[in-house]
Structure 1
Amino acid sequence: MYALVTGASRGIGRAIALQLAQRGHDLLLVARSEDQLKALAQEIGQKHQRQAQVLALDLAAPGAAEKTAAWATQHTNQLAVLVNNAGYGLWGRFEDLGLAEQQNMLQLNMALPVALTHALLPALHQAPQAYILNVASTAAYQAVPSLSLYAASKAFLLSFSRGLRYELKARNVSVSCLCPGATTTDFADRAGMGAELQATANKVSMTAEAVAAIAVAGLLAGEAEIIPGVLNKVSAGLTSVVPKGIVEKIAAGIYEKYL
């Protein structure tokens, strides 16, 4: 059975692909960097003796979901796992960040997983048991000043995941949402965070490999929400009982002071 992973060239996506290969899946790997995808495909073949096909594509470009779905169905009629991992954040005040770049982020974080899921659900329904993993963030549980649109996009993805999960509860497709906290990836660099903020985040960061191991185990166990790490579970839980204004003030205290 095949698994398709977007944003597979690095970070959590790369680590999830390796976890799935270790568990016996062949891989369909999609991201912008062809060299990194090919290196990962080679590693999957050498370490886990699984096949891996690669598609180098800007997933925020118009028609990317349709191109990816067509490519996937050309390579296999045994798709069992879809991992919507591609995405990024932008750090800064909403009015100071360029609108076009923010809209590009929203396209990748929200529109792409919706379109790709819609396109590939018919293929997933052909498997005896199939799984969808949408990669959100602990930011999905609260508003985060200076990461306002990023947090909003992840809240959307969490809500979409839970709604779709309920719609498919009597079918063969299980939907899970991964909500990691700080992780040692290039997220901070891509988001434009300064060195001081990155250093603060690194104090509580998990490795991508640790996050991926928990993610894949939770996905195959059919968990609705997967929050790796005790600290992340506690912080996410507190957002449901602590007044929103206080939660937002705490988040602003972490992120805005470095602007």
Structure 2
Amino acid sequence: MQYALVTGAAKGIGKAISAELARRKFNLLLTDWDLEQLKISAAAIRQEYGVEVHEYVQDLSDAGAARNLKSWSFPYHDLLTVVVNNAGYGLNDPFEQLSIEEQFGIIDVNIKAQLAITHELLPVLRRKKSFLLNVCSTTVYQPVPYLAVYAASKAFVLSFNQSLRYELRGSTVSLSYLSPGSTDTDFVVRARMKPHTLKTAERFNMTPGAVAKIAIDGLFKGKEEIVPGFLNKLNARLPKFFPLPFIRKIAASIYEPRKAELQKDDKLKQSLIEEHLPI
């Protein structure tokens, strides 16, 4: 039985993609930084689909993460035919209010880890007919103030994958890139998105399962760009037909923190400081 490796597999789209691959009878190599949730998700998939599921805890922001992942997965390389670079995160706040360390962390996971894992595992995939799915985002199609570093990191990823797809033409490796939009996952919690942003997102949310099925269907059909859902496809195309200032203003209106929300955040941070709790 063939193996698939999925990063960011503990929750959300990564977990759903793992389940979709298991449904298609792939054994799984799953990695995430969240040990507890990874074990829960792996056990659920194992029980439901009866496939082998191996877990590996790794913070992909670590410099040696890709090499560690390659070493851990080495016993399965002969049967490894699918790699999914799903892990990624963002932070929703003004650029100046986020620490530079936090923003470098986004770059480490969204850009460096995806490049490093792709570079480490491409020689493994080239040995046989195989599939590589790298996750982008619909934020790549326009600048997104107040989600600036995340959107910029995904724009980098899109350009990289468009180029790499060409370099891999005629090879045994079929590269696809997935650009999901608003999805009902914990991404918004980690991103610290504000209430008005969440309300907007809820109107357009897709389920992780729906995104995963479209993603894996597209991957195995050899599609280059996979944008799940009609509204996301529309969002990917419309910015080309409007002036940049207009598009930027619309994006900012969704993600810009409201004054009352910022004051509430400041009060929460102050209370945590007073109670000597981590922020």
Tell me the equivalent position of 1:14.
15
Tell me the equivalent position of 2:249.
249
User: What is the letter of the counterpart of residue 60 of structure 1?
Assistant: S
CA RMSD of aligned residues (A): 1.2
Bigger Rg over Cα: 2
Tell me the equivalent position of 2:24.
23
Q: How many residues align?
A: 258
On the 8 A contact 1:162/1:175 being kept in 2, the answer is no
Tell me the equivalent position of 1:151.
151
Tell me the equivalent position of 2:275.
none
Unaligned runs of 5+ in 1: none
Structure 1 residue matching 2:47: 3-state secondary structure: helix
Structure 2 residue matching 1:174: 3-state secondary structure: strand
| Aligned pairs for 1:199-210 within 5 A | 199-210=199-210
Residues 110-145 of structure 1 show CA distances to partners (whole Å, capped at 9, x for unaligned) of: 000100000001110112x21111111100111100
On the 8 A contact 2:3/2:76 being kept in 1, the answer is no
On the 8 A contact 2:7/2:85 being kept in 1, the answer is yes
Tell me the equivalent position of 1:107.
108
Q: Are 2:39 and 1:38 equivalent residues in the alignment?
A: yes
Partners of 1:235 and 1:125 in 2: CA distance? 34
**CA-CA distance at 1:257 after TM superposition:** 5.1
Partners of 1:96 and 1:42 in 2: CA distance? 39
User: What is the letter of the counterpart of residue 26 of structure 1?
Assistant: N
| Aligned pairs for 1:1-259 within 5 A | 1-127=2-128, 129-256=129-256, 258=258
Identity %: 47
User: What is the letter of the counterpart of residue 63 of structure 2?
Assistant: P
Partners of 1:182 and 1:37 in 2: CA distance? 23
How high is the TM-score relative to the length of structure 1? 0.96
How high is the TM-score relative to the length of structure 2? 0.90
Structure 1 residue matching 2:240: 3-state secondary structure: coil
Structure 1 residue matching 2:133: 3-state secondary structure: strand
Partners of 1:36 and 1:27 in 2: CA distance? 16
Partners of 2:242 and 2:132 in 1: CA distance? 31
On the 8 A contact 1:21/1:50 being kept in 2, the answer is yes
On the 8 A contact 1:6/1:83 being kept in 2, the answer is yes
Q: Which runs of 4+ in 1 moved over 4 A?
A: none
Unaligned runs of 5+ in 2: 263-279
Partners of 1:187 and 1:42 in 2: CA distance? 22
**CA-CA distance at 1:40 after TM superposition:** 2.1
Residues 59-94 of structure 1 show CA distances to partners (whole Å, capped at 9, x for unaligned) of: 111201110111111344211111001110011111
On the 8 A contact 1:141/1:239 being kept in 2, the answer is yes
Partners of 2:10 and 2:180 in 1: CA distance? 18
